[in-house]
C-alpha cells in the first residue's frame, strides 16, 4: 500500500505529480513548489496550510477525486479544530495524507504570495510578498554535554527546518532569546527580514505581524496599518503635519531652517512625533500591539523626505536643488523614532530629483506607467505639481511650481477642503445662478437638507469647478476676464474695485470669486499645463493617451472641469481619471512586496529628469497656457474633444455641456 | 626624455621595476603594490607618502642612486614643507618624480600596514590593518544640468579615486554630508568601515582616527586608546567596575539578577556607564576628541560580556551554563552607549563556553598558541581560572573555580593589590625572619626608605610568596600545616586558636598568615592545578613545555614561587613566564587588525571545551593537588626541576633556593 502512488493536481497553480500514498499534502505541495503557507513548519499548530479537495470527476485533469482519497481526520486536525476551528471541507495540509487521486485546492488565504484585493479597480494588483516573514522552530535544549550557545542552536534549527542559513541576529533578539526559548518550551517564532536577519522573536507560535505605510505630505501625514500576512488595511489615519506652524508651504520651512540654527532638528522632531502619534492611533484603531509592527514604508516630497530623515533641506531651497540622497533607504524604524518593535525596519522610497520626491516614486509604483504600452500622464497637484509622462519605453518626470492656489490658498475666500468648503459648483448658463455643494453635506444647495449646511469658504476643487462653469456659462472670457457687462443681467456679477466678481454664495458668509482669484488660478494652471506640455515636447508627443490625476486635489477635481479649464493637455475626457492617493498606494505596495522596492529603485534610475526652471520653452508654454482654455480657439478645440459648448453655441451644445457636468457631479456625489 | 626609463627599487619590500622618467614615486609604488600610504589620494596634502632616497652605489641592487635622480622640489612640496614641515631628506612620493635610477626607502610611518611596536618582547607582532580607513576625495559640484544627489556624487568620487564601489552611507553621514561638502569646498575625508560602509565624514582632510580596546573585568574595567593610523597606545586607564556594589564575585551578581526584576538593566547601565566614563577619561588624557573615536573592541568574561550587551546572565549561573551567543559581534558603538562618533562600530570578541569568555579569546589572540608547534599552557587566574592548552594541532580550554582567594579575598589580612599591600615576601630559612615589600614602595623592609611605607594587608601575590617561602623555610608542611613546634624557636610562629599562625608583620598593623589562610590558598591552587591537569590528560601530555601566566594576578606572582606552591603543573621554571594583560592585548590586536577578528572567530570554533564540573577526574586531581607541592615527594621533584632545596637538604641547596628567590625578586622590582 505504501508503494502505491496517486496523481495529485493542485489548483489554482495546476501543478501536478504522482506521490506515494501516505505523503502529506504539504510535503507534496512543497516538492512541486506550490505556494502553500506553513508558519509552524508542518506541526499542525498554525493552520495556515488549510486546503480543500474538489469532489467529482475532473475531466480537465483526467481524474476522479474525492475527499476519501485523503487520510481520515486524525488527532492533529481534531486538536486544531477543537482549539481554533476548522471550516467544513477544510483539512490541514500538513496532517492530511494522500490516499488516492486528488484535486487539491489551495484557497487564497493559504497562499503566501496571495494577491491583495484593492478597492481601486483600475490599478495593478499587489502580490503579497513582504520582506518580513515568520518562522516557527523548535530549538534543541542545551545539555552539559552539548552546551552550545542559544543563538547557535536557534540558527541550527532555522537551517534544519527552513533552510535559512547564515542569519544575523539583532542585539535585541539576543536580549530576548533566552527568555523566549524558556517561556516557549524551546519552541519560538522568529521574524526574518530580507532573508538575512532575525529581527524579532516570540515564545511559541506568533502568527501576525503588521506594517505601516506612511505618506508624509507638507500639510497632512497619513498612515495605513496593514496585516503583513493578509495584506489587508486594518486602519487608516491622518494628522495635520505639525510643521505647519513653521510655514504652510515648504519653502517657508526651508527658509526657517536657513535662518534659525537648530530649527532643522525641531522640524525633524515634529514630523517624527507626528508619525509616532499616527502609529499609536493606528495600532489602537486596529486593536494591534505596537510591538507587532515590524515594517514601515515612507513616501514624501523631497523636503519632507529630508526633514523626516534629519537631513538639511537647505540645498533644496535654491538651484541646483541637489538632494542629499536619492536612493531608497533601508533603516531601522527606531532611526525614525517610530514606537514599534525594536527590530522593525523602515524603507524610504527613492527620490527622483530635487523637486520630484519619494511621493512621485510611490505614484509611479502604484500607477506602473513603466509596465504599460500606452503613454500615460500622471499628475499629482500640490504646492508643486509632480508630473510623470511615459510608458515602458521611456519615463520623464518634472515638477512645476503651481503654488498653493489649487489648495485654496491665495484665493480671497479660499480654504482647505474641510467641512463647510464649497467643493462642487454648477452654474446655469441661462440664469447664471449657481448650485453648490459643501464638504460634509450630501445635498446640493437646491435640495432639501442643504439648509443645515454651514458654508465657510471655497476649496481647490470648488474654485476649479466654479471657473470652468463660469467659462461655460460665458461669464469668464478665454483671457480670464469676468465679463462686467453681465452685471446688468444678473446680480451675481458685481463690481469689485476696478474689476468684477461673481457672487457664489449670496447669504452670509458672502463668498465671491474675484478677478484676482481667477488670475491666481490662471497662473497655477498655466504652470501645471506648461510642465505637462514640456514633457510631451520632450517625449515628442502632441497628445497623451491617458491622464491620471493623483493626490487629494487630483481626486477631488472633476476631470471634465479640469479639461475645460485647461489644467492638463487635451485628452479624451473618459481617459482622464482620478488615481486617488497614488503616492500612499505606492508606499503600501512597497510595504507588502519587497520586489516592488527593487523595482522602483530600478525605474527611478531610468527616469529622465526635466528641470522646468532651466527649460526656455517652459516660459513659452506658460504664457500660452494662461488663456482659458489655452488654445487660440479653445472652444472649438474643446468642443471637438470634450463635446462642450463654444461660447455662443446654441442650446443643444449647451445642454450637452450641462449633461457632462451633471455626469461629473454624479460621479463625485 | 619622457620616454627614458629608470630602475627603481623600493625598500624594505625589495620590489623593483623600470619606470618612465616623470612617473611619480607614488604611482610607481602603487603599480608595484608597494605599501605607501596616501590618504589624500596624491594631492600633496596629507604628507603620508613621505619617502627617502638612499644615496650611493647599491651593489645589492646594481644601481647608483642619488637624490638628484628625483625631480627638484616643486611648489607642492614647498607648500607642504612650509605648512606642516618636511624633515631633511624627506620627499613627498606623490610630488617627486623619477628622473634616474633610485633606491626609494619607505619609512615605517609611511606604510599603511606597518608593524606596531609592542613593549612585550615575546609576543607576536601586531600588523596594523584596522577595519576603518580614511579616504580624501574631491567630489564634483552639482549643477542645474547635472544635479545628481550629493550621496551619488560622493560615491562616484570614491569609486573613481579609490576604486571603492557600492558603499553604504550611514544615516548620520547623510545628515552631515551637505555641510561637509560645502564647508570643505567639495573636498571631504570619509571613514570607510570594513570596505563596505561610510561611517564618518569631515570637511577637507582629516588625518587621524582612534579606537579603544576595552577589557571588562569583574573588578576593574580597563581601556586603551590607540591611534588607528599608527597603532600607538596614546592613553590607558582603568576604573573599578561599578557593579561591585552588587557583589564582588560574578555569581553574586547573577543571583542578584535572578532575585530582582529589573536588576539586569541596572547592571548593564552601570557597566556601560563605566565604559563611557573611561572613554571620556582616555580622550581627555590623549587630548583627542571623542568624536574622532571610530572603533572599539571588547573582551570580558561571559557574565560581563552578557551584562554589557544587555543579555540576561541567568543561564550562566547554573548548568548547563548555556551562553546566549558565542560568536564575535559587530555592533554600533552607540548600542553599547559609548560617547564616541555616531558612526563608530564596536566589535565584541567571541566567547568559547559558558565559563570561558571573550577574555580567553583575547588571550588566545595575544598569545597565539594556535600558531605555535610548542604546546603552551595559558592560565588567566581570577575568581575563575581560564585555562587553555595546546598548539597549532589542537587547543583545549576549561575554566576552574578557584574562588577569590588569589585576589586577597577570604584571607584574614587579605586585600587587593593596592598601595600598602604586601606583595613580595622573603623568609630567611635560618632565622625564619621575613623581609617584605609593599605596593607603592620600591624598598624592601630591611632597606632604607621602607620606614615611610604604610603596610595595610597582603595581596594575592604576597600570600603566594609567603606560603612558598614558608614552605621552603620548613614552616609549612607539605600537607599545609603550620609547624607549631617552631613557636619555641621563633616569635614569628604563634598559636592562633587550636592552630598556629605566622607573624608576617609584627608592628602595627600586625599581619598574620593563619592556618585558615593556608587552607583557602590550598583549595584555590588545587582547583587551578586540577584544571590544568585535566587539560593535560585530555591532550595526552604528562608535562607541558611552556606556561604563560596572564592577567593581573598572573603578572604579579613570581613563577618560581608558583611552581614551589604547585599552582601549575611542573615545567622548566624559565619556561614559566608572565603574559601581562593578555586579554587586553587581544582586544588591542582585534582593534588594530581586522583579519585578527576573523582569525580568532575561526580558532574559537575549533577549541575543544572541557567542562570541569562534569569531569570525574577533576575531583581526583583536585584532591591530589591539595598538598604543597602536590607530588608524594615534592621536594625531590622540585629539586630536579626548579633546583630548590628539599626540606632537610644542606646549606648549599638552601643557598641555591635563596638565589632563585632573590633572582625572582629582582625580576619583579
CATH number of the structural domain spanning residue B257: 3.30.420.480
Distances (CA, A) of B41 to A532, B133, B160, B226, B556: 46, 13, 11, 24, 48
3-state helix, strand, coil in chain A (%, to 5): 35, 25, 40
Region class of B172: left (phi > 0), else alpha (psi between -120 and 50), else beta: alpha
Q: Do A335 and B171 contact (CB within 8 A), yes or no?
A: yes
Count of alpha carbons within 13 angstroms of residue A183, beta-carbon side: 12
**Both A294 and A342 in a single domain?**
yes
- Report how far apart the first and last C-alpha atoms of chain B are (Å, whole number): 66
For residue A192, give the CATH number of its domain: 3.10.20.880
* B181: chain A residues, CB-CB within 8 Å: none
**pLDDT for the residue numbered B314:** 93
Q: Do B586 and B373 contact (CB within 8 A), yes or no?
A: no
**Both A183 and A235 in a single domain?**
no
* A335: chain B residues, CB-CB within 8 Å: 171
Put simply, the answer to whether A613 touches B144 (Cβ < 8 Å) is: yes
Put simply, the answer to whether A309 touches B174 (Cβ < 8 Å) is: yes
**Both A559 and A646 in a single domain?**
yes
Query: From CA A516, how far away is CA A241, in angstroms rounded?
Result: 29
Of B266, B179, B168, the closest CA to residue A312 belongs to B179
**pLDDT for the residue numbered B617:** 92
Indicate if the pLDDT at residue B267 is higher than 90. Answer: yes
Residue B86 lies in a domain: yes
Q: Do B170 and B247 contact (CB within 8 A), yes or no?
A: no
Query: From CA B559, how far away is CA B578, in angstroms rounded?
Result: 8
At residue A440, φ and ψ (nearest 5 deg) are 95, 0
Is the dihedral angle over the CA atoms A51, A55, A60, A64 positive or is it negative?
positive
**Both B246 and B288 in a single domain?**
yes
**pLDDT for the residue numbered A68:** 85
B411 burial via Cβ count (<10 Å: 0-12, 13-18, 19+): buried
Q: How near does any CA of chain B get to the CA of A325, in Å?
A: 5
Put simply, the answer to whether B611 touches A353 (Cβ < 8 Å) is: no
A87 burial via Cβ count (<10 Å: 0-12, 13-18, 19+): exposed
**Both B538 and B661 in a single domain?**
yes
pLDDT tens digits, B303-361: 999 999 999 999 998 889 999 999 999 999 999 999 999 999 999 999 999 999 999 99
Residue B510 lies in a domain: no
Mean pLDDT of B410-438: 92
B479 burial via Cβ count (<10 Å: 0-12, 13-18, 19+): exposed
Reduced to 3 states (helix: H, G, I; strand: E, B; else coil), residue B381 is strand
Locate A654 and state its grid cell: 449647451
**Both A435 and A533 in a single domain?**
no
The residues near A249 (Cβ < 8 Å, ≥ 6 apart) are A218, A383, A404, A409
Rounded mean pLDDT of chain B?
Answer: 89
**Domain-terminating residue out of A431, A466, A500:** A500
Q: Do A306 and A312 contact (CB within 8 A), yes or no?
A: yes
Mutation target among A142, A143, A144, A147 for the B interface, most CBs of B within 10 A? A147
Query: From CA A399, how far away is CA A355, in angstroms rounded?
Result: 6
Put simply, the answer to whether B147 touches A314 (Cβ < 8 Å) is: no
Put simply, the answer to whether B178 touches A311 (Cβ < 8 Å) is: yes
Residue B383 lies in a domain: yes
Query: From CA A429, how far away is CA A489, in angstroms rounded?
Result: 12
**pLDDT for the residue numbered B534:** 95
| Cis peptide upstream of residue A308 (ω within 30 degrees of 0) | no
* A614: chain B residues, CB-CB within 8 Å: 144-145
At residue A197, φ and ψ (nearest 5 deg) are -140, 145
The residues near A608 (Cβ < 8 Å, ≥ 6 apart) are A394, A395, A396, A397, A538
Mean pLDDT of B561-578: 91
Mean pLDDT of B146-175: 94
Residue B117 lies in a domain: no
Query: From CA B486, how far away is CA A51, in angstroms rounded?
Result: 91
Query: Across the A/B interface, how many CB contacts are shorter than 8 Å?
Result: 128
**pLDDT for the residue numbered A124:** 58
Residue range(s) defining the domain that contains residue B473 = 408-500
Query: From CA B40, how far away is CA B189, in angstroms rounded?
Result: 8
* B601: chain A residues, CB-CB within 8 Å: none
**Both B141 and B221 in a single domain?**
no
Indicate if the pLDDT at residue B547 is higher than 60. Answer: yes
Among all residues of chain A, which has the CA nearest to that of B265?
Answer: A175
Put simply, the answer to whether B311 touches A178 (Cβ < 8 Å) is: yes
Scanning B381-454, the segments in alpha helix (DSSP H) are none
Scanning A164-262, the segments in alpha helix (DSSP H) are 171-183, 250-259
* A150: chain B residues, CB-CB within 8 Å: 315, 322-325
Put simply, the answer to whether B171 touches A329 (Cβ < 8 Å) is: yes
Q: How near does any CA of chain A get to the CA of B311, in Å?
A: 5
Reduced to 3 states (helix: H, G, I; strand: E, B; else coil), residue A200 is strand
CA angle A43, A44, A45 (to 5 degrees): 90
Of A144, A151, A146, A141, the closest CA to residue A187 belongs to A141
Q: Which of A150, A314, A614 sits opposite B144 (nearest CB)?
A: A614
Three-state SS letters, A269-286: HHHHHHHHHHHHHHHHHH
Query: From CA A439, how far away is CA A423, in angstroms rounded?
Result: 6
Put simply, the answer to whether B354 touches A147 (Cβ < 8 Å) is: yes
* B169: chain A residues, CB-CB within 8 Å: 325
CA dihedral A411→A417→A421→A422, nearest 10 degrees, is 80
Put simply, the answer to whether A311 touches B152 (Cβ < 8 Å) is: no
- The contact set of B with A (CB < 8 A) is 142-145, 147-152, 169, 171, 174-175, 177-179, 309-312, 314-315, 319-327, 329, 331, 335, 351, 353-354, 609, 611, 613-614
**Both A448 and A593 in a single domain?**
no
Burial B300-320 (b: 16+ CB within 10 A, else e): bbbbbbbbbbbbbbbbbbeeb
* B614: chain A residues, CB-CB within 8 Å: 144-145
Is the dihedral angle over the CA atoms A610, A613, A615, A621 positive or is it negative?
positive
Query: From CA B499, how far away is CA B484, in angstroms rounded?
Result: 7
Residue A192 lies in a domain: yes
**Both A555 and A586 in a single domain?**
yes
**Domain-terminating residue out of A500, A530, A553:** A500
The band of B117, judged by pLDDT with boundaries at 50, 70 and 90, is low
Put simply, the answer to whether A322 touches B148 (Cβ < 8 Å) is: yes
**Both A142 and A100 in a single domain?**
no
Distances (CA, A) of A424 to A579, A640, B40, B532: 19, 25, 64, 90
pTM of the model: 0.85
Put simply, the answer to whether A150 touches B325 (Cβ < 8 Å) is: yes
For residue B26, give the CATH number of its domain: 3.10.20.30
| Cis peptide upstream of residue A512 (ω within 30 degrees of 0) | no
pLDDT tens digits, B205-262: 999 999 999 999 988 899 999 999 889 999 999 998 999 888 777 888 898 998 988 8
Query: From CA B556, how far away is CA B196, in angstroms rounded?
Result: 43
Query: From CA B295, how far away is CA B284, in angstroms rounded?
Result: 17
Query: From CA B439, how far away is CA B420, in angstroms rounded?
Result: 5
Of B275, B276, B256, the closest CA to residue B264 belongs to B256
Mean pLDDT of B92-114: 90
Indicate if the pLDDT at residue B449 is higher than 90. Answer: no
Put simply, the answer to whether A322 touches B149 (Cβ < 8 Å) is: yes
Pick out chain A residues at pLDDT < 70. 1-3, 116-124, 630-669
Pairing between β-strand A90-92 and β-strand A50-53 as defined by DSSP bridges: antiparallel
Query: From CA B534, how far away is CA B575, in angstroms rounded?
Result: 20
Q: Which of B143, B323, B609 sits opposite A320 (nearest CB)?
A: B143
Cell 539576543 belongs to residue: A174
**pLDDT for the residue numbered A383:** 74
- The contact set of A with B (CB < 8 A) is 142-145, 147-152, 169, 171, 174-175, 177-179, 309-312, 314-315, 319-327, 329, 331, 335, 351, 353-354, 609, 611, 613-614
Residue A115 lies in a domain: no
Q: How near does any CA of chain A get to the CA of B144, in Å?
A: 5
Residue B119 lies in a domain: no
Q: Do B23 and B98 contact (CB within 8 A), yes or no?
A: yes
Put simply, the answer to whether B151 touches A325 (Cβ < 8 Å) is: yes
Indicate if the pLDDT at residue B655 is higher than 80. Answer: no
Q: How high is the ipTM of this complex? A: 0.83
Query: From CA A219, how far away is CA A248, in angstroms rounded?
Result: 7
Q: Do A515 and A587 contact (CB within 8 A), yes or no?
A: no
Cell 592560565 belongs to residue: B379
Higher pLDDT: B418 or B210? It is: B210
pLDDT tens digits, A523-563: 999 999 999 999 999 999 999 999 999 988 888 888 889 99
At residue B97, φ and ψ (nearest 5 deg) are -110, 150
Put simply, the answer to whether B147 touches A177 (Cβ < 8 Å) is: no
**Domain-terminating residue out of B449, B471, B500:** B500
Q: How near does any CA of chain A get to the CA of B419, in Å?
A: 40
**Both A463 and A593 in a single domain?**
no
Three-state SS letters, A463-488: HHHHHHHHHHCCCECCCCCECHHHHH
Domain count, chain B: 5
| Cis peptide upstream of residue A320 (ω within 30 degrees of 0) | yes
Q: How near does any CA of chain A get to the CA of B237, in Å?
A: 28
Put simply, the answer to whether A149 touches B331 (Cβ < 8 Å) is: no
Q: How near does any CA of chain B get to the CA of A368, in Å?
A: 24
Q: Which of A147, A323, A326 sits opposite B353 (nearest CB)?
A: A147
Write down how long chain A is: 669
Residue A353 lies in a domain: no
Distances (CA, A) of A421 to A444, A511, A556, A578: 13, 11, 12, 20
Pairing between β-strand A102-105 and β-strand A50-53 as defined by DSSP bridges: antiparallel
* B145: chain A residues, CB-CB within 8 Å: 614
**pLDDT for the residue numbered B557:** 87
Angle in degrees, 0-180, between the axes of helices A250-259 and A263-286, rounded to the nearest 10: 130
**Both A248 and A342 in a single domain?**
yes
Pairing between β-strand A16-20 and β-strand A5-11 as defined by DSSP bridges: antiparallel
Count of alpha carbons within 13 angstroms of residue B496, beta-carbon side: 19
Run of H or E residues at B362: helix B358-367
pLDDT tens digits, B280-301: 999 999 999 999 999 999 999 9
Among all residues of chain B, which has the CA nearest to that of A178?
Answer: B324
Q: Poorest-confidence range of A121-125, B238-242, B274-278, B488-492? A: A121-125
Amino acid at each position: 500500500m505504501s508503494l502505491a502512488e496517486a496523481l495529485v493536481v493542485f489548483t489554482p497553480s495546476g501543478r501536478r505529480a504522482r506521490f506515494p500514498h501516505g505523503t502529506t499534502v504539504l510535503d507534496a505541495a512543497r516538492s512541486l513548489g506550490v505556494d502553500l503557507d506553513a508558519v509552524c513548519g508542518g506541526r499542525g499548530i498554525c493552520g495556515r496550510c488549510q486546503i480543500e479537495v474538489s469532489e467529482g470527476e475532473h475531466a480537465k485533469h483526467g481524474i476522479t477525486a474525492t475527499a476519501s482519497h485523503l487520510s481520515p481526520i486524525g488527532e492533529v486536525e481534531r486538536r486544531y479544530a477543537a482549539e481554533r476551528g476548522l471550516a467544513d471541507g477544510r483539512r490541514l495540509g500538513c496532517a492530511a495524507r494522500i490516499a488516492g487521486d486528488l484535486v487539491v485546492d489551495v484557497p487564497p488565504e493559504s497562499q503566501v504570495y496571495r494577491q491583495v484585493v484593492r478597492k481601486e479597480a483600475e490599478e495593478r494588483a499587489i502580490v503579497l510578498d513582504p520582506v518580513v516573514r515568520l518562522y516557527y522552530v523548535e530549538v534543541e535544549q542545551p545539555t552539559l554535554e552539548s552546551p552550545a550557545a542559544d543563538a547557535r542552536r536557534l540558527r541550527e534549527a532555522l537551517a534544519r527546518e527552513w533552510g535559512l542559513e547564515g542569519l544575523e541576529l539583532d542585539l535585541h533578539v539576543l536580549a530576548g532569546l533566552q527568555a523566549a526559548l524558556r517561556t516557549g518550551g524551546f519552541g519560538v517564532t522568529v521574524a526574518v527580514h530580507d532573508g538575512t536577519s532575525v529581527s524579532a522573536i516570540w515564545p511559541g507560535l506568533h502568527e501576525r505581524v503588521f506594517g505601516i505605510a506612511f505618506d508624509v505630505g507638507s500639510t497632512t501625514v497619513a498612515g495605513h496599518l496593514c496585516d503583513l500576512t493578509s495584506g489587508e488595511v486594518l486602519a487608516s489615519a491622518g494628522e495635520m503635519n505639525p510643521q505647519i506652524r513653521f510655514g504652510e508651504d515648504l519653502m517657508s520651512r526651508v527658509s526657517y531652517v536657513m535662518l534659525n540654527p537648530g530649527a532643522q532638528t525641531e522640524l525633524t522632531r515634529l514630523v517624527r512625533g507626528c508619525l509616532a502619534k499616527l502609529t499609536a492611533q493606528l495600532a489602537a484603531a486596529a486593536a494591534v500591539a505596537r510591538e507587532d509592527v515590524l515594517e514601515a514604508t515612507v513616501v514624501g516630497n523631497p523636503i519632507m523626505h529630508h526633514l523626516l530623515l534629519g537631513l538639511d533641506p537647505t540645498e533644496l531651497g535654491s538651484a541646483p536643488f541637489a538632494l542629499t540622497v536619492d536612493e531608497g533607504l533601508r533603516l531601522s524604524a527606531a532611526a525614525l523614532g517610530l514606537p514599534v518593535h525594536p527590530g522593525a525596519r523602515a524603507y524610504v522610497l527613492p527620490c527622483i530629483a530635487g523637486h520630484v520626491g519619494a511621493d512621485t516614486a510611490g505614484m509611479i509604483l502604484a500607477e506602473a506607467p513603466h509596465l504599460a504600452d500606452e503613454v500615460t500622464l500622471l499628475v499629482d497637484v500640490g504646492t508643486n505639481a509632480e508630473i510623470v509622462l511615459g510608458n515602458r519605453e521611456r519615463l520623464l518626470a518634472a515638477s512645476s511650481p503651481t503654488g498653493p492656489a489649487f489648495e485654496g490658498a491665495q484665493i480671497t475666500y479660499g480654504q482647505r477642503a474641510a467641512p463647510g468648503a464649497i467643493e462642487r459648483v454648477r452654474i446655469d448658463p441661462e440664469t447664471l445662478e449657481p448650485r453648490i455643494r459643501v464638504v460634509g453635506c450630501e445635498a446640493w444647495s437646491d435640495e432639501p437638507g442643504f439648509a443645515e449646511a454651514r458654508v465657510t469658504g471655497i476649496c481647490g476643487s470648488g474654485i476649479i469647478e466654479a471657473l470652468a462653469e463660469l467659462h461655460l456659462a460665458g461669464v469668464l472670457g478665454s483671457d480670464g476676464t469676468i465679463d462686467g457687462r453681465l452685471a446688468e443681467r444678473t446680480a451675481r456679477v458685481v463690481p469689485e474695485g476696478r474689476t468684477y466678481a461673481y457672487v457664489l454664495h449670496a447669504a452670509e458668509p458672502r463668498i465671491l470669486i474675484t478677478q484676482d482669484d481667477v488670475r491666481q488660478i490662471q497662473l497655477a494652471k498655466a504652470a501645471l499645463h506648461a510642465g505637462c506640455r514640456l514633457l510631451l515636447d520632450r517625449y515628442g508627443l502632441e497628445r497623451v493617451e491617458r491622464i491620471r490625476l493623483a493626490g487629494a486635489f487630483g481626486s477631488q477635481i472633476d476631470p471634465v472641469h479640469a479639461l475645460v479649464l485647461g489644467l492638463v493637455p487635451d485628452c479624451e475626457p473618459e481617459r482622464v481619471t482620478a488615481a486617488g492617493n497614488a503616492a500612499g498606494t505606492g508606499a503600501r505596495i512597497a510595504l507588502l512586496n519587497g520586489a516592488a522596492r527593487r523595482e522602483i529603485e530600478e525605474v527611478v534610475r531610468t527616469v529622465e529628469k526635466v528641470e522646468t526652471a532651466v527649460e526656455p520653452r517652459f516660459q513659452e508654454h506658460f504664457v500660452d497656457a494662461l488663456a482659458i482654455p489655452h488654445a487660440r480657439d479653445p472652444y472649438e478645440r474643446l468642443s471637438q474633444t470634450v463635446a462642450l459648448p463654444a461660447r455662443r453655441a446654441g442650446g443643444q451644445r449647451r445642454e450637452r455641456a450641462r449633461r457632462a457636468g451633471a455626469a461629473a457631479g454624479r460621479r463625485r456625489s
